[in-house]
Amino acid sequence: MNDQFNGFILFRDYKAYFKRGIIGSVEIGRIKIYKEDLMNFLKHVDASTKVKYTKSGLQIFDESLYKRLLVYAVAFSFIRKKSSLRILRLIEAVKKLDDYSLHFWYTEALTRYKDRRQRGLGRVSRSIRVLYGVDR
């Protein structure tokens, strides 16, 4: 049995769908983010060996990186004015999250999405941006 993590991010138009496996069901879907924005985040965290780029999306081999990408995508998708300074602050905030905080925001996003779909994710995004000083 293979114990390696295998997450997948599927892109359709400008929406991303996060899956824990290639065949599995969608954990969080319809997040408004472009593939290039997630690839920009991957450049900043220097995770090229943990990701396989495919035509339809990204295959992630590290669970921690998968959680970081999901938290970043949730927070990024609800920023109205996407200035480069805000994006860099958000990248640094998500990059510096310890394992406990990362797991908390990941599970918070999942539970809010299951309860209230996109509206719940907006609240998680706002909480992350205010708490970590992205919106100053």
Q: Per-residue pLDDT tens for 62-71?
A: 999 999 999 9
What contacts 24+ positions apart, CB below 8 Å, involve 84-92?
Answer: 86/134, 86/135, 87/40, 89/132, 89/133, 89/134, 89/136, 90/129, 90/132, 90/134, 91/40, 91/41, 91/44, 91/45
- pTM for this model (two decimals): 0.92
pLDDT > 90 fraction of the chain, expressed in percent and rounded? 74
Q: Per-residue pLDDT tens for 71-129?
A: 999 999 999 898 999 999 999 999 999 999 999 999 999 999 999 888 889 999 999 99
